[in-house]
Structure 1
Amino acid sequence: MFIPAIMAGGSGTRLWPLSRKEFPKQFLSLTSEESLLQQTLERLEGTSHSSPILLASEKHRFLVAEQLRQSKIAKSKIVLEPFGRNTAPAIAIASFMAASSSPENVLLILPADHNVIDINGFQKAVAKAQLMAENNYLVTFGIVPDQPETGYGYIKCGEKIDENGHRVDAFVEKPDLATAQSYLDDGEHLWNSGMFMFKAGVFLAELEKYQPDVFDHCKRAFNAMKRDQDFHRIPADVFEDCPDISVDYAVMEQTDLAAVVSLDVGWSDIGSWDALSQVLKQDENGNSLRGDAIAQETKNSLVISESRLVSTIGVQDLVVVETKDAVLVSHKDHVQDVRKVVSYLRKQDRNEADCHREVYRPWGHYDSIDSGDRYQVKRICVEPGAKLSVQMHHHRAEHWVVVSGTAKVFCDGEEKILTENQSTYIPVGAIHSLENPGKVPLEVIEVQSGSYLGEDDIQRFEDRYGRVE
């Protein structure tokens, strides 16, 4: 029996415009109908494990909870970090949680944004790692390389411990191409996957030995953690001074207990658009197409359409990604430069850098259909039984038209039920709320008008999701 600890934090920019700060890649359905987070959890089906620990950002709490609900994964513990402090503190918090019942509990640490093809092979490697972890090794998983990759760190295998794995001789930084080729040729080096397995108590003892400052901060953070609905919250004032350090630097590169189990299961961290194109199914011309995409006289290209028809003619080695509010066109040799685009957008204070047009909330989601001077139009979808907060706006009025479903509307002390094709008006300054009392999703077209239409023009009075300050 082991405890999965899934690291679902992070907000990478390498898969922009699909992945953004408010909706990073672990929540995207890139290689199947399920998100990468859901696939990570489903990968453990059939193994003997207890309820998982999910480590996530505060701002992604409802995304995590909703995706767990969709996967029908009950009794998970969702730990919310007020801000990221890298992998060592996150793993330390999970270890304190596991050790609170027994320091002998074994943790399986998995990033939430990886892809694995051979699930059976993965589970066999986990079984090997668990045997080594029960013998007090800190086990990492090394990926058998199939090319001279310069984008990954490497693990050099040392002496063989048993049939399950080897001691770690060294952790190696990302190499240049010639060095990466030599690692591929010697057969002694594996890619560093960022997955681990160990006893909670053994890891904490090594962390205290090599990083006492991190240990002390995380122990205080764990002891101060508060339960709020489905979430375990780490107080910001306790966590903010915790060092920002990876588990490799903090422990794995220093400990004498590091061991490695090799993994050859079709693994990818999907760290770029080119990496995703290698994972996805390809046609006879080497193209990977998703959505409403047409490729004519096109070779070795990735074309993703989210909201409209995208066609290519007479091109090759391109990445074309269309979303509702942005389009990326890049040569595959330059996909690592996507970060430069995001950086530029942030300097220009462009919303597209961090947010999608479609925004998810604990009650459902909304899509900003159109906007202009003093008006904005949204399509709002409220899940059955869900309710927006009781709130008021200082600068805008709202008109609501029910497209489908049933709406319970509260406005300045008056409550009424609206059905399809009915509408209502919410004046500036009116205290109001919107609720779906039905059993099917409620869809509403909202037209906002006023001098200021920002999302921060909300004064909340009641909220079932804990968003009232």
Structure 2
Amino acid sequence: MTQVLPVILCGGSGTRLWPLSRSGFPKQFLVLSGDGSGQSLFQQAIERIHSVADQSIVLGSTLIVTNEDHRFLALDQLRELKNVSATMLLEPSGRNTAPALTLAALYAKERGNDPILAVTPADQTVTNPAAFTTALANAIKIAQDGAIAILGITPKAPETGYGYIKVNHQVASAEEGCAVELFVEKPNEATAKKYLAEGGYFWNGGMFVLKASVWLTALATYRPDILAATQQAWETKTTDTSGDAVFVRPDKALFNAIPSESIDCAVIEKCPGSHFPIRMVELNAGWNDLGAWDAVWQVGKQDQDGNVTSGDTLLTNSKNSLVHASSRLVSAVGIENLIIVETSDAVLVADRKNSQDVKNIVGQLDSQKREEKNLHRKVSRPWGWYDSVDEGEHFKVKRIQVKPGASLSLQMHHHRAEHWIVVKGTAEITNGDQVITLTENQSTYIPQGQTHRLANPGTAPLEIIEVQSGSYLGEDDIVRFEDTYGRN
């Protein structure tokens, strides 16, 4: 039996899918593919790899490599999947995919075996899952013999946004794959058209299948600096748990010093013609990396006029457009080839052909230090969420929901006081030396500088309205004394 570890690379911020994707809630956690499953791209990636399990392939615990700040987003979505156990390898900062895969390989080797790693980004979609399963199973067979297998996407157009794989078709078969001759960077349109006309070129989707030892050996050959630096950070790692979750954290300072490099540039592009055999398995499964809003339109369910809509929308005399409403009615009259995306705090209007340039708006938000780059008005937290309903000079109003059995940290604010009103459920409130229980329509006051905590002792969600007042209402005015989630 073949042991396989799924490795989900769950990084990136999805800037070209702003305003739905934010750095605090990136695209891999969004439901975007329009397949009716209601699953995020992250959840779909996990289930696609798990579909390969059969009597000859045994899957080990899924390894999720993600940012420290996204660990509870990933955990909440993992818990919605059945029969999936996972370990989270938490990066304190993004260092690209080569260090991420190295963490997974070191984790696997530390446990005394040499499993095959099935590596995929968390932000892609396919429309033919059965074809993906077949291609992945063939790639696993290739990797059993010590080769590196890469899934190559059957090109549908002269796409300039992807790297390409050139293969030798002379010994091609579904089971054996094709010998990879070379990798080429993102081409211009004329070159991309030439590739399609010649044949033998495939898109590189960043999906790899190889043994842990093969990756570590190849990395030692081509980028020993990355391997040595990642090993140092791994040797001083810490491990902790939160309920059923296992979090593994490499040393922060040492990890931040690792050179930032992709899997492709560090190793894979150097393998053709070397003593590291590399073969490509063709993937013809309706793949898309949803890299921009135009791609979301392409994979969405189009009406008779070519429009893709989501949420509360009304369209008339409109064609070939994507309209996404998150929090209110969005209507459109006489539009064509447009992207309209509405959230509670931002609206994007773009020509479909220019949807890649949304990243330029995000760049402006960043330079202006605007919070719309990072967070939605409604913000997920490990204990639940809060929604900033209104704010003005010296006041802010939030709606807060706390999960059953969860609690916020024991904390204090220097510059603000808070009024809490329970609108649903039961609240256990620590207010200085007092611990009180409030139910619906009851309220309390937390003075400025007072130590306090909000908890939900019940079995149903707790909702409160919080009114903050004071000279400074920023989220960084918080001192944590105790925290269930390791944030103090």
1:11 matches 2:16: no
Which sections of structure 2, spanning at least 5 residues, go unmatched? 54-58
Query: What is the deviation of 1:336?
Result: 1.1
Tell me, in whole angstroms, the C-alpha distance in 2 between the residues paired with 1:349 and 1:312.
31
1:403 matches 2:408: no
Aligned to 2:46: 41
Tell me, in whole angstroms, the C-alpha distance in 2 between the residues paired with 1:266 and 1:412.
58
Between stretches 44-53 and 258-267, larger displacement belongs to 44-53
The CA deviation string for residues 152-209 of structure 1, in whole angstroms up to 9 with x for no partner, is 1100012536542011111011111111112112220000000000011011111101
Aligned to 1:234: 250
Structure 1 counterpart of 2:237, which letter?
M
Query: What is the deviation of 1:75?
Result: 3.1
Tell me, in whole angstroms, the C-alpha distance in 2 between the residues paired with 1:110 and 1:46.
14
Aligned to 1:71: 81
Residues 62 and 84 of structure 2 are in contact (CA less than 8 Å); yes or no, is this contact kept in structure 1? no
The CA deviation string for residues 319-362 of structure 1, in whole angstroms up to 9 with x for no partner, is 00000000000011111111111111111121111111111111
Aligned to 1:133: 143
Give the SS at the match of 2:233: helix
Aligned to 1:457: 477
Tell me, in whole angstroms, the C-alpha distance in 2 between the residues paired with 1:455 and 1:280.
37
Query: What is the deviation of 1:117?
Result: 1.2
Structure 2 counterpart of 1:65, which letter?
L
Please point out which of 139, 155, 164 is paired with 1:145: 155
Residues 417 and 448 of structure 2 are in contact (CA less than 8 Å); yes or no, is this contact kept in structure 1? yes
Tell me, in whole angstroms, the C-alpha distance in 1 between the residues paired with 2:111 and 2:454.
43
Please point out which of 373, 377, 381 is paired with 2:401: 381
1:190 matches 2:205: no
Count matched residues: 468
Give the SS at the match of 2:158: coil
TM-score, structure 1 as length reference: 0.98
Tell me, in whole angstroms, the C-alpha distance in 2 between the residues paired with 1:407 and 1:73.
33
Give the SS at the match of 1:151: coil
Residues 308 and 323 of structure 2 are in contact (CA less than 8 Å); yes or no, is this contact kept in structure 1? yes
Tell me, in whole angstroms, the C-alpha distance in 1 between the residues paired with 2:373 and 2:130.
38
Aligned to 1:244: 260
Between stretches 407-416 and 154-163, larger displacement belongs to 154-163
Residues 95 and 260 of structure 2 are in contact (CA less than 8 Å); yes or no, is this contact kept in structure 1? yes
The CA deviation string for residues 366-391 of structure 1, in whole angstroms up to 9 with x for no partner, is 00000100000000010000000011
1:205 matches 2:217: yes
Tell me, in whole angstroms, the C-alpha distance in 2 between the residues paired with 1:163 and 1:264.
12
Which sections of structure 1, spanning at least 5 residues, go unmatched? none
Residues 13 and 20 of structure 1 are in contact (CA less than 8 Å); yes or no, is this contact kept in structure 2? yes
1:82 matches 2:98: no
Tell me, in whole angstroms, the C-alpha distance in 1 between the residues paired with 2:320 and 2:266.
41
Tell me, in whole angstroms, the C-alpha distance in 2 between the residues paired with 1:103 and 1:203.
14
Between stretches 93-102 and 243-252, larger displacement belongs to 93-102
Tell me, in whole angstroms, the C-alpha distance in 2 between the residues paired with 1:455 and 1:101.
41
Structure 1 counterpart of 2:143, which letter?
A
- Give the % identical residues: 50
Tell me, in whole angstroms, the C-alpha distance in 1 between the residues paired with 2:467 and 2:219.
54
Tell me, in whole angstroms, the C-alpha distance in 2 between the residues paired with 1:99 and 1:390.
39
Query: What is the deviation of 1:119?
Result: 0.9
Tell me, in whole angstroms, the C-alpha distance in 1 between the residues paired with 2:196 and 2:331.
38
Query: What is the deviation of 1:44?
Result: 2.9
Query: What is the deviation of 1:103?
Result: 5.0
Residues 174 and 281 of structure 2 are in contact (CA less than 8 Å); yes or no, is this contact kept in structure 1? no
The CA deviation string for residues 29-58 of structure 1, in whole angstroms up to 9 with x for no partner, is 112411111111122344321110000001
Please point out which of 313, 321, 332 is paired with 2:352: 332
TM-score, structure 2 as length reference: 0.94
1:219 matches 2:231: yes
Structure 2 vs 1, CA of residues 409 and 12 (structure 1 numbering), >3 Å: closer, same or farther?
A: same
Tell me, in whole angstroms, the C-alpha distance in 2 between the residues paired with 1:43 and 1:36.
10
Tell me, in whole angstroms, the C-alpha distance in 2 between the residues paired with 1:254 and 1:332.
36
Residues 426 and 432 of structure 1 are in contact (CA less than 8 Å); yes or no, is this contact kept in structure 2? yes
Aligned to 2:56: none
Tell me, in whole angstroms, the C-alpha distance in 1 between the residues paired with 2:440 and 2:296.
42
Give the SS at the match of 1:271: coil
The CA deviation string for residues 389-416 of structure 1, in whole angstroms up to 9 with x for no partner, is 0111111010111111111111011111
Query: What is the deviation of 1:148?
Result: 0.9
